[in-house]
């Protein structure tokens, strides 16, 4: 799975099977602070994510 975290401008390759919520927990990211984009579609926390997916974790907090 390719994961991009825009707040830290990080790209990671992970092996992960589970829900988006579990992925955020693994990355220590609060779900209230981000939206999750799975293969270019916004998705909910209960969505299944797996190694074939490209995930973007976009910060909802402005940087000012």
Interface residues with another protein (CB under 8 A)? 6-7, 30-35, 37, 41-47, 58-64
CB of 27 to another protein, least distance (A): 14
Could you tell me the CA-to-CA distances from 35 to 3, 28 in Å, in that order? Answer: 13, 14
Query: In this complex, which beta carbon is closest to another protein, that of residue 6 or of residue 51?
Result: 6
Nearest Cα neighbor of 4 from 63, 61, 39, 54 is: 54
Strand pairing category for 10-13 and 2-5: antiparallel
Least CB distance from residue 46 to another protein, whole Å? 5
Q: Quote the least distance from Cβ 1 to another protein, whole Å.
A: 20
């Amino acid at each position: 799975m390719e994961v991009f975290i825009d707040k830290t401008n990080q790209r990671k390759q992970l092996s992960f099977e589970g829900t988006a919520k579990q992925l955020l927990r693994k990355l220590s990211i609060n779900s209230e602070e981000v939206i999750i984009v799975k293969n270019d579609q916004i998705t909910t926390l209960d969505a299944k994510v797996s190694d074939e997916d490209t995930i973007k974790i976009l910060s909802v907090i402005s940087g000012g």
